[in-house]
């Protein structure tokens, strides 16, 4: 098992904790996280949380904060080389800072991303493809990958007995899809990782009493 | 000057213009407020003399009489209503608050000696000087944002520069208000001379004066075109234009090329649509020049029966091939206005110096002249052992330089006039450019140095905000992207400012530190700019970007550069800069004739208009590469060269790889 942990400061926490409402938010989070992982690791004074990349049978990014832990799928391979992480995917040989910025620029403006006209959306992608043959394949991969969103909430403000338990998991993010699984006890980061880990024993769901 | 000459006033007008020329005084003579055609007066025997820091003088060329008094009253009433229109009134008050001490009337024959006359008109009180300047700005149509400049006298250097009242100079005023006289009007000016601003004013004048006309407003760069498109409605609002903008019916503002999907997405695209020309899209095999030439050939065979546009305004003309201007001219019924920076095209073989522009803006209002001088020097490699470019004396003059040389003509001292923009701002002890050398590894060293520069700026300018600083990364390799990532983490952590990586967000965000690369900064400006590069390279496109980015600042530019990678050239660049900062002169030796020949040969060899494919093909031919290797070699060079390619490097890479391939 490979696990890489990155401390997050209060500023990084701001974008990490932006509520996820769409696949575009997931891509944004994933790309911003890769930026951090590509940097040489430095100490983070005043850390308020952490980001964990766990790579084994499961491949996930986990974000852990005081009252919230959540995770998304990490669709790329990570290779550690001389203390530096490198990323590749089935469709792109090298996901570096430049490629990440290009992806972010494609999804940055509503004007382009939600354009009625397909070519308005495609234009910037075509431009990047002029110099990087694999850019479109990577972008398609990002649009298609399963996001695997799951979140643990410790939610004092909205707790409502078994309907909205103090400790619960939210699975999926879109309104019509998402559902809660209660937990009797608080969930720590290691509990959370254990729930997701395919190599450890399963957790069981049982009806509330 | 924006007033009709007649037998009575022409002597006076001539003498004023001679006086102002000799004494470097900025003055305007008008007979009505500029910028709005609705103000006209029956009385024709008067002129109004406007000189910053002097009272506004109404001069009659007859005996003073009732008609003249009426004219003055009407004029002042109108000025009052213009001041109300642009919301100056709250700041400067009603006419009764300024009429008595800031205006005066005189009969022409009472003026006497002009210099003595000016002394009598001088306003001593600083805050009244400021009100007077605001009045002049209203009368010349050079409207300032009153909320930004304000009427209070700013204290710190940063506020002084930010709140400086901008006034058009004579050339600028003439360009904006003169009627078109010929099919193509060119305006040349260096970076920061306010070309885009002037085009916006011109656009407004045309849009209002010709209610049915169709106008195209374009530039090469897509991002700049997008920002222009956003600026137009803001500008029209600001100038209180009451007409709606009819996008894509009367006004097209897009980049020049466009895409197949939308006929309105580019000027060339729209022309193709209109005349049923086959649209060529950008690829490695098609340059814009080729596309325009093909369109011209089509129009040659099928002459258009009607025009597409009535006016065409083209910004950043140095980015275009002549074929595009030809195409615009063929499609435009009245006039095309072409504005560009002659300096940004100095590496073109057929440099535009040869063509005299109709308007030459040599005064740079944005950038400190010293910054401009350093940017020019670095752009041309003047301080380096092998210069990349040299200008002839008249070309120096066209760039606004005063040339002094020794008897042999070998040693040159180049300087620039100081400008109104900064004349009353005390900047003597502020170096305009600072070279900041980084330690290794580059990303660590450069981010340390950038943070140091930001802190330095904050110490020296306590009122500075994140919006006041722009960080521009000149390199386009992965290191530059990683450096931006590092800043995105370190700046919030160590300074508490958020970072906007603008090549991702594609916009400026208030209260966030702007970080971007050279492709996304055209048209932007900041009080402080930090330019970053790991290696000072020789390619012309790189040097052009250096010039373009260094001159984005109002006050100061920091040039952050790796010491290790530039050991050979940095010492001479530093001493050249020290001289500029100390004496305001570029001191340099002219290249020998042999060197000059080498320079022009190199420039000729790397014509910009060639597409990547054409250049590669040319090199294959030169090296007699066997056809079976060409496809693979093309793949290799495509991988090696991203957006940027230059002849020398391309040649080198092809030659090297071909050698290896053919040995196998």
Q: Which residues of A fall below an 8 Å CB-CB distance to B? A: 9, 11-12, 35-36, 38-40, 44-46, 96-98, 100-101, 104-105, 108-109, 117-120, 123, 130-132
Mean pLDDT to the nearest integer, A164-177: 93
C-alpha distance from A131 to closest chain B C-alpha (Å): 5
Averaged pLDDT of chain A: 91
Please list, residue by residue across B562-585, b when 16 or more beta carbons sit within 10 angstroms of its beta carbon and e when fewer do. Answer: beebbeebbeebeebbebbbeeeb
**Percentage, residues of chain A above pLDDT 90:** 68
Would you call B41 an interface residue with chain A, using a CB distance cutoff of 8 Å?
A: no
Q: Verify whether the Cβ–Cβ distance B261 to A108 is below 8 Å.
A: no
Chain B residues with CB-CB distance to A15 below 8 A:
none
Chain A residues with CB-CB distance to B486 below 8 A:
39
Q: What is the pLDDT of residue B423?
A: 56
Pairing of strands A68-73, A77-81: unpaired
Would you call B350 an interface residue with chain A, using a CB distance cutoff of 8 Å?
A: no
Q: What is the pLDDT of residue B644?
A: 66
How far is residue B626's CA from residue B659's CA, in Å, rounded to a whole number? 11
Q: Verify whether the Cβ–Cβ distance B488 to A96 is below 8 Å.
A: no
C-alpha distance from B640 to closest chain A C-alpha (Å): 9
Helix ranges (H only) for B239-311 are 267-275, 288-301
- Mutation site, B258, B265, B493, interface A, largest A CB count within 10 A: B493
Q: What is the pLDDT of residue B200?
A: 92
- Nearest CB partner across the interface for B503, out of A39, A105, A118: A105
Above 80 in pLDDT, residue A38? Answer: yes
Q: Verify whether the Cβ–Cβ distance B478 to A98 is below 8 Å.
A: yes
CB B462 within 8 A of CB B189: no
Q: Verify whether the Cβ–Cβ distance A9 to B481 is below 8 Å.
A: no
Handedness of CA B185, B189, B191, B195 (dihedral sign): negative
- Nearest CB partner across the interface for B498, out of A11, A108, A119: A11
ipTM of the shown complex: 0.92
CB B192 within 8 A of CB B373: no
Please name which of B568, B148, B194 lies closest in space to residue B365, comparing C-alpha atoms.
B194
Chain B residues with CB-CB distance to A39 below 8 A:
482, 485-486, 489
- Nearest CB partner across the interface for B481, out of A40, A101, A109: A101
* B483-534 confidence digits (pLDDT tens): 999 999 999 999 999 999 999 988 888 999 999 998 877 778 899 999 999 9
In chain B, which residue's Cα lies nearest the Cα of A10?
A: B493
Which secondary-structure segment (H or E) carries B103? strand B103-107
- Mutation site, A6, A8, A9, A11, interface B, largest B CB count within 10 A: A11
In chain A, which residue's Cα lies nearest the Cα of B504?
A: A105
Q: Verify whether the Cβ–Cβ distance B261 to A119 is below 8 Å.
A: yes
Chain A residues with CB-CB distance to B513 below 8 A:
none
Would you call B43 an interface residue with chain A, using a CB distance cutoff of 8 Å?
A: no
How far is residue A162's CA from residue A185's CA, in Å, rounded to a whole number? 13
In chain A, which residue's Cα lies nearest the Cα of B223?
A: A124
Q: What is the pLDDT of residue B354?
A: 52
* C-alpha dist (Å) from residue B138 to B72, B146, B196, B426: 16, 11, 20, 26
Please name which of B602, B641, B650, B663 lies closest in space to residue B623, comparing C-alpha atoms.
B650
Q: What is the pLDDT of residue B485?
A: 94
Q: What would the DSSP string read from start to end of B5-66?
A: --TTTHHHHHHHHHHHHHHT---EEESS-SS-TT---S--SEEEEE-TTB-EEEEESSS--H
Q: What is the pLDDT of residue B299?
A: 93
Would you call B485 an interface residue with chain A, using a CB distance cutoff of 8 Å?
A: yes
Q: What is the pLDDT of residue B428?
A: 62
Q: Verify whether the Cβ–Cβ distance A96 to B485 is below 8 Å.
A: no
Q: Verify whether the Cβ–Cβ distance A38 to B506 is below 8 Å.
A: no
Would you call B264 an interface residue with chain A, using a CB distance cutoff of 8 Å?
A: no
Q: What is the pLDDT of residue B624?
A: 85
C-alpha distance from A75 to closest chain B C-alpha (Å): 21
Q: What would the DSSP string read from start to end of B401-421?
A: -EEEE-TTS-EEEEE----HH
Q: Verify whether the Cβ–Cβ distance B504 to A108 is below 8 Å.
A: yes
Mean pLDDT to the nearest integer, A146-165: 91
Helix (H, G, I), strand (E, B) or coil at A41: coil
Q: What is the pLDDT of residue B484?
A: 96
CB contact residues (below 8 A), chain B span 550-569, against chain A:
none
**Strands of A179-182's sheet, edge to edge?**
A2-8, A49-55, A59-65, A68-73, A150-154, A167-171, A179-182
More confident residue, B13 or A18: A18
What parts of chain B have a pLDDT lower than 70?
1-3, 346-355, 362-364, 418-429, 601-611, 642-645, 664
How far is residue B599's CA from residue B581's CA, in Å, rounded to a whole number? 28
Q: Verify whether the Cβ–Cβ distance B493 to A45 is below 8 Å.
A: yes
- Nearest CB partner across the interface for B486, out of A39, A98, A118: A39
Q: What is the pLDDT of residue B10?
A: 80
**Strands of B46-50's sheet, edge to edge?**
B28-30, B46-50, B56-60, B103-107
How far is residue B368's CA from residue B218's CA, in Å, rounded to a whole number? 28
């Amino acid at each position: 098992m490979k696990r890489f942990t990155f401390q997050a400061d209060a500023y990084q926490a701001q974008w990490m904790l932006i509520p996820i409402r769409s696949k575009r938010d997931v891509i944004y989070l994933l790309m911003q996280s890769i930026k951090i992982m590509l940097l040489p690791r430095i100490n983070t004074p005043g850390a308020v949380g952490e980001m964990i990349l766990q790579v084994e049978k499961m491949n996930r990014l986990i974000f852990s904060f005081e009252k919230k832990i959540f995770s998304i799928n990490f669709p790329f391979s990570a290779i550690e080389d001389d203390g530096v992480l490198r990323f590749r995917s089935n469709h792109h040989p090298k996901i570096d800072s430049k490629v990440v910025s290009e992806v972010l620029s494609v999804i940055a403006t509503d004007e382009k991303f939600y354009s009625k006209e397909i070519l308005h959306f495609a234009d910037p992608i075509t431009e990047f493809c002029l110099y990087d043959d694999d850019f479109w394949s990577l972008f398609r991969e990002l649009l298609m990958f399963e996001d695997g969103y799951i979140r643990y909430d410790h939610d004092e403000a909205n707790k409502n007995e078994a309907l909205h338990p103090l400790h619960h998991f939210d699975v999926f993010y879109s309104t019509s899809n998402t559902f809660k699984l209660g937990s009797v006890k608080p969930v720590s980061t290691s509990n959370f990782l254990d729930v997701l880990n395919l190599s450890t024993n399963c957790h069981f769901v049982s009806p509330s009493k | 000057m924006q007033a009709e000459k007649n037998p009575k006033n022409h002597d006076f007008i001539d003498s004023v213009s001679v006086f102002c020329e000799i004494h470097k005084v900025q003055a305007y003579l008008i007979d009505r407020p500029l910028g709005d055609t609705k103000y006209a007066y029956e009385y024709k025997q008067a002129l109004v003399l406007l000189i910053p820091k002097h009272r506004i003088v109404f001069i009659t060329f007859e005996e003073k009489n009732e008609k003249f008094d009426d004219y003055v009253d009407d004029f002042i009433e109108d000025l009052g209503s213009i001041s109300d229109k642009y919301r100056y009134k709250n700041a400067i008050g009603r006419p009764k608050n300024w009429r008595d001490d800031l205006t005066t009337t005189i009969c022409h024959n009472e003026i006497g000696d002009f210099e003595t006359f000016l002394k009598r008109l001088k306003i001593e009180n600083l805050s009244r000087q400021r009100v007077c300047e605001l009045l002049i700005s209203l009368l010349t149509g050079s409207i300032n944002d009153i909320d930004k400049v304000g009427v209070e006298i700013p204290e710190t250097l940063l506020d002084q520069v930010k709140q400086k009242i901008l006034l058009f100079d004579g050339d600028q005023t003439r360009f904006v208000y003169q009627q078109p006289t010929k099919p193509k009007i060119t305006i040349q000016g260096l970076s920061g001379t306010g070309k885009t601003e002037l085009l916006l004013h011109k656009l407004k004048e045309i849009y209002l004066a010709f209610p049915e006309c169709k106008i195209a407003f374009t530039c090469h760069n897509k991002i700049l075109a997008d920002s222009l498109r956003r600026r137009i409605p803001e500008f029209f609002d600001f100038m209180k234009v009451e007409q709606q903008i009819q996008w894509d019916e009367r006004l097209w503002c897009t980049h020049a090329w466009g895409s197949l999907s939308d006929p309105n997405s580019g000027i060339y695209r729209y022309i193709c649509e209109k005349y049923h020309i086959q649209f060529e899209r950008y690829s490695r095999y098609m340059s814009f020049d080729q596309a325009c030439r093909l369109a011209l050939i089509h129009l040659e065979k099928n002459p258009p029966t009607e025009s597409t546009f009535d006016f065409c305004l083209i910004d950043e003309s140095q980015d275009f091939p002549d074929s595009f201007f030809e195409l615009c001219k063929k499609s435009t019924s009245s006039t095309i206005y072409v504005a560009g920076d002659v300096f940004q095209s100095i590496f073109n073989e057929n440099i535009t110096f040869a063509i005299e522009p109709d308007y030459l803006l040599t005064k740079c209002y944005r950038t400190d002249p010293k910054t401009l001088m350093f940017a020019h020097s670095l752009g041309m490699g003047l301080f380096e052992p092998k210069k990349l470019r040299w200008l002839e004396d008249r070309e120096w003059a066209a760039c606004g330089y005063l040339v002094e040389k020794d008897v042999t003509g070998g040693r040159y001292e180049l300087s620039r006039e100081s400008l109104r923009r900064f004349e009353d701002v005390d900047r003597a002890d502020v170096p305009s450019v600072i070279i900041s050398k980084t330690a290794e590894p580059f990303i660590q060293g450069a981010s340390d140095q950038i943070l140091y520069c930001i802190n330095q700026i904050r110490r020296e300018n306590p009122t500075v905000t994140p919006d006041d600083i722009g960080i521009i990364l000149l390199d386009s390799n992965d290191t530059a992207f990683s450096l931006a990532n590092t800043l995105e983490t370190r700046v919030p952590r160590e300074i508490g400012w958020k970072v906007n990586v603008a090549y991702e967000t594609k916009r400026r965000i208030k209260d966030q530190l702007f970080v971007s690369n050279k492709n996304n900064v055209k048209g932007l400006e900041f009080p402080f700019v930090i330019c970053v590069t790991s290696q000072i390279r020789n390619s012309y496109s790189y040097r052009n970007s250096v010039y373009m980015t260094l001159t984005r600042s109002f006050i100061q530019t920091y040039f952050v550069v790796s010491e290790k990678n530039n050991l050979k050239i940095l010492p001479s660049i530093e001493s050249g800069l020290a001289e500029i900062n100390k004496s305001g002169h570029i001191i340099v030796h002219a290249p020998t004739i042999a060197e000059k020949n080498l320079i022009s040969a190199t420039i000729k060899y790397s014509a910009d208009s060639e597409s990547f494919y054409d250049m590669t093909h040319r090199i294959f031919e030169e090296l007699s590469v066997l056809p079976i290797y060409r496809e693979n070699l093309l793949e290799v060079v495509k991988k090696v060269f991203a957006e940027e390619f230059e002849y020398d490097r391309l040649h080198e890479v092809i030659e090297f790889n071909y050698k290896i391939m053919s040995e196998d």
